[in-house]
Amino acid sequence: MQYIKNEWIKIWSQKSTWIMLIILLGLVSIVAGISKYFDVDSSTKEVRLQENEKLLNQYNEWLSEEGIAEEDKLYYNEEIAKLQYRIDNDLPSPDTVTFTEQMELSITISVALISIFAIVVAAGIISSEFSSGTIKMLLTRPVARWKILLSKLATTILFSLALLAVSLAFSALLDVLLFGTEKAVTLSILDGQVVAQEVENTYLENIPFSFASLLMTIIFAFMIGSLFSSSTLAVSLSLFILLMGQTATLFISQYNFAKYIWFANDIGQFGPGNSPIIEDLTFTFSIIINIIYAIVFLAITFIAFMKRDVTA
């Protein structure tokens, strides 16, 4: 625990760490501000009626056009029925941004940005020790190398988890202030009748999937960092491989062997509202693939670090 505490202090003593946090919260604030700027007002009953009637008139105009296709006519009639239901039940316009929708967007942005920050920290936390020469002093202490390495990995994971927790708390507070807490309502047509259903808070269910994906990113970047002495090279190479790997997977997803590639088994794609890159992928299969890759990455990391010569 003492080594984890020391690594934790070292991370937060760096200006770059605070810059990361400021960028994260700043980006979340900017996105929320943009959403609020383009949001449809729904503060009063009169405004809600006005916005719904505006859309209703628009759909009626499109429906009255000559030569309209039957499928378009069916779609417009369904949308008109939904809008009439909103008017009758004093519901906000479908274009109104809700707390749930904004939180989903905030989490998506936060996880993407934290993944980049986690790569920077994970790839640099070891390589920077070698490039600066401080690793010699660290390894002169009477403690096993694997304990030092494990403390760095644990600290990186805790750091990423802390960023995610701060971002979620900040996003929730900001989104409540800007968009309220009223749940979104989805309308559908069932047997010719409009059916209303409250949107579940799926963003809460997506968090574990997102963090599992983030954890694998950390382990991979940690491995790259253990193989190179230059922190700049380690960070750059980690980002390049991850970005290119994910892009390449899209092009080879049609082949059977693609399902055995780590990039194709990103746990985040199994969260609510998402779908796997490869159709026949299952959550259990992807979990097994991720565990195998994690063991391989960690084995390479620890073997390389344990055998690395630091006397030079």
Within a domain: 136: yes
Specify which of 3-17, 90-104, 180-194, 282-296 reaches the highest per-range mean pLDDT.
Answer: 282-296
pLDDT bracket for residue 294 (50, 70, 90) = very high
Within a domain: 194: yes
pLDDT score of 309 more than 70: no
List the single range of 68-77, 225-234, 252-261 with lowest mean pLDDT. 225-234
Task: Give the model confidence (pLDDT) of 126-135 as tens digits.
Answer: 777 766 667 6
What's the domain count of the chain? 1
Tokens of 257: 């062997």
pLDDT score of 311 more than 70: no
Give the sign of the dihedral formed by CA 112, CA 117, CA 120, CA 122. Answer: negative
- Buried-state track 31-46, b at ≥16 Cβ within 10 A, e below 16: bbeebeeebbebeeee
The residue segments making up the domain with residue 158 are 2-12+100-307
Length of the chain: 312
List the single range of 10-19, 224-233, 259-268 with lowest mean pLDDT. 224-233
Within a domain: 21: no
User: What's the predicted TM-score (pTM) here?
Assistant: 0.81
Cα gap 205→274, rounded to integer Å? 12
pLDDT bracket for residue 30 (50, 70, 90) = very high
pLDDT bracket for residue 136 (50, 70, 90) = low
pLDDT score of 137 more than 60: yes
Within a domain: 261: yes
pLDDT at residue 20, as a whole number = 92
pLDDT at residue 150, as a whole number = 87
Task: Give the model confidence (pLDDT) of 172-182 as tens digits.
Answer: 999 889 888 77
Within a domain: 88: no
Within a domain: 48: no
Are 271 and 210 within 8 A, CB to CB? yes
